[in-house]
Chains A and B, each alone.
Chain A
Amino acid sequence: NAGVMQNPRHLVRRRGQEARLRCSPMKGHSHVYWYRQLPEEGLKFMVYLQKENIIDESGMPKERFSAEFPKEGPSILRIQQVVRGDSAAYFCASSSADEQYFGPGTRLTVT
């Protein structure tokens, strides 16, 4: 049973480009969480999704950020028109019940 997969592991984008981060949850998990870790800061919740539904997006910036978890395929975190302040590590976690299992993260660098 493979763990939580995230790709790409490293992503470099120029200011104004779009970034797409993918998260494949563990087999059998239907809950996905996205977290962001800014440089020298702690982890912060962004969004919680179940299949085809956004359950809680209270941590998502209001503009440029969106997330989806379609019926088939991975969850996608999309950042439009990236700015330098978006540079961070983005982690997803999946769960089926209580415990959350984390992916290896995607490190986004905006130049």
Chain B
Amino acid sequence: KNEVEQSPQNLTAQEGEFITINCSYSVGISALHWLQQHPGGGIVSLFMLSSGKKKHGRLIATINIQEKHSSLHITASHPRDSAVYICAVRIGSQGNLIFGKGTKLSVKP
């Protein structure tokens, strides 16, 4: 079993829909990251969380430390949101990241 599990693996949505991507992890962590990767592209850090909730534009990320679970929400989705969204956890204050396998999101116009 992977230490970081994401669901769903693939997600197709219509423009304007509210989207939720889930991440569960099985280890103690110091922080959780949500990353975005476009096809053939680089990796952009969307959020880093250690507790609670963060919001940036149409993106919201939440984390429940007790439940070892995080969610990434996209409100009013748009085709330009189409990308792979990756959850990654950090163990220790300066440690490397352990990644989920990613959720491939496709938003249709």
Binding site for B on A (CB under 8 A): 31, 33, 35, 41-45, 48, 55-56, 59, 91, 93, 95, 98-105
Q: B38-64 interface mask toward A, CB cutoff 8 Å, 1 = contact, 0 = none? A: 000111110010000000000000000
Which of A33, A43, A59, A99 is most buried by chain B, counting CB atoms within 10 A of its CB? A43
A56 with B42: CB separation less than 8 A:
no
Asked if B31 is an interface residue, CB under 8 A from chain A, the answer is: yes
Given A43-B86, A43-B88, A91-B43, are A98 and B31 neighbors across the interface (CB < 8 Å)?
yes
A99 with B94: CB separation less than 8 A:
no
A48 with B95: CB separation less than 8 A:
yes
A45 with B45: CB separation less than 8 A:
no
Question: A36 CB to closest chain B CB, in angstroms?
Answer: 11
Binding site for A on B (CB under 8 A): 31, 33, 35, 41-45, 48, 86, 88, 93-102
A105 with B100: CB separation less than 8 A:
no
Residue A100 contacts which of B33, B41, B100, B101 (CB distance < 8 angstroms)?
A: B33
Q: Please name all residues of chain B whose beta carbon is closer than 8 Å to the beta carbon of A45 when the two chains form the complex.
A: 96-98
A99 with B102: CB separation less than 8 A:
no
A100 with B99: CB separation less than 8 A:
no
Which chain B residue shows the least CB distance to A31?
B94
Given A100-B33, A101-B45, are A42 and B95 neighbors across the interface (CB < 8 Å)?
no
B45 with A105: CB separation less than 8 A:
no
B31 with A56: CB separation less than 8 A:
no
Which chain B residue shows the least CB distance to A47?
B96
